[in-house]
Structure formats: C-alpha cells, structure tokens
Chains A and B, each alone.
Chain A
Amino acid sequence: AQKITQTQPGMFVQEKEAVTLDCTYDTSDQSYGLFWYKQPSSGEMIFLIYQGSYDEQNATEGRYSLNFQKARKSANLVISASQLGDSAMYFCAMRETNAGGTSYGKLTFGQGTILTVHP
C-alpha cells in the first residue's frame, strides 16, 4: 500500500521569496513516480512536476523543483520566486511504475498544503 504524508496544513510566504512544501511517502513498490499538483480555488488539478524513483537528478520545471531524497522517502516541492498566483492548495501524490517506466494505477494523494503568498 502507498501512503503520502503532508504535514503542513498551511504555509505562508512573501512574494518573490522561495518556499518548500514537505512531502514524505511510504511504499513497498520498487519502482514508483512522485508528482506534485496545484489546485486553485477553481478546482482544477494542475500538474506541476514529476520524479521517477530511479531518476538520479532532481526534477525541475521552471520555478518548481523537487528535492528527492530516496533514503528518507521525501519528495519536497520547492517554489522559487513566489508569485501571488501561486496561492493555492498543493498536493503531493505517487503512482506505481512498471519495468518500462510507465506509470499505472491510481494516484495516491496526500491531504494537501494550502499556500498563501503575501504581497
């Protein structure tokens, strides 16, 4: 069984500063993928970044980077240069992958962290 834990119900950050959202996971799968999604108040889930369990480099996508520490089972999201539009709920999630590296099955989500960016 997979489990995602996000221990920060809410986070505050000043505009233009960096912020780290914490995520720890637990799984018995040998191969898995880790994801971060953003959900604004409109409700749509927006994909941000993906990290494969066998990827040696930490994933980066623009202002988003994923700090992946496999031994500690953590996959923290770092948002650099925060913008007012970054205010939203952020979810960490994981999914099993097969030998070919394709993810399949359900996404298991954490409870989310509400990020508020102050001007």
Chain B
Amino acid sequence: KAGVTQTPRYLIKTRGQQVTLSCSPISGHRSVSWYQQTPGQGLQFLFEYFSETQRNKGNFPGRFSGRQFSNSRSEMNVSTLELGDSALYLCASSLRHEQFFGPGTRLTVL
C-alpha cells in the first residue's frame, strides 16, 4: 500500500507570495492532518480534516487555510508569506490510532 505523498518536496518563495501544498493520504484513510515544524517552535498542529470537513484547527493566523477533497486528498494554502513561515510542513493520514506522515514539504521564504 502506498504511503502518504506530499508535493512539492521543496519550495522557495518570496515574502508576500502565496503557496499551495498538496497531500495524498494512504488509500482508505479519511483523516488528514497538517503540522508545521520549525527549529524554534517544534511540531505545531495546523488543522485536521475528515470527510471534507475541518474537524480541528490549531492556533495559526487566517493566512493558513486548507481543504479536503472527496477523494480525501488535501491541500493547504498560505497567503502573504512571511519569513517566519519557512518550515517543514508535514501531512499525516490516519485510520484509527496512528498518524502516518508523508515526507514533508520544505518551504523556504526569502
């Protein structure tokens, strides 16, 4: 069974731009979560989607948004990028207990 895939793997953007990251969960998994990982703040929860509905949301500004499609694929969008948005963005899917993570998208904002 294929694992969680994330595209793109690397991104370089400049301040003020917007970016869209994509995540395809493991087949059959309906829950998708997003996390931001930075050296200073560690791993922080962004949001969780289940059956196209946002079920939980972390403490991030409204510039961070996401959605889930009927095939459980998910996207997250960050508008008006700031230098502090540079991070590894991890997507995870789950069926029951464990969250299985993708390889992440490393975003650099210049």
Contacts and interface: CB of A to CB of B under 8 A. Distances in A.
Contacts, number: 58
A47 to B, nearest CB: 5
Decide if the interface of chain B is mainly helix, strand, loop or mixed.
strand
A47 B98 contact: yes
B98 A109 contact: no
Interface stretch (B63-71, B73-81, B102-110): B102-110
A107 B99 contact: yes
Contacts of A91: 43
A108 B33 CA distance: 12
For A45, A95, A97, the residue with the greatest tally of chain B CB atoms inside 10 Å of its CB is: A45
Interface residues of B, number: 24
Interface string B31-42: 101010000001
Contact of B31 (A43, A104, A109, A111): A104
A95 B98 CA distance: 9
B92 A45 contact: yes
Interface of B: 31, 33, 35, 42-43, 45, 48, 55-56, 58, 88, 90, 92, 94, 96-104, 106
Interface of A: 33, 35, 37, 42-47, 50, 52, 91, 95, 97, 101-109, 111-112
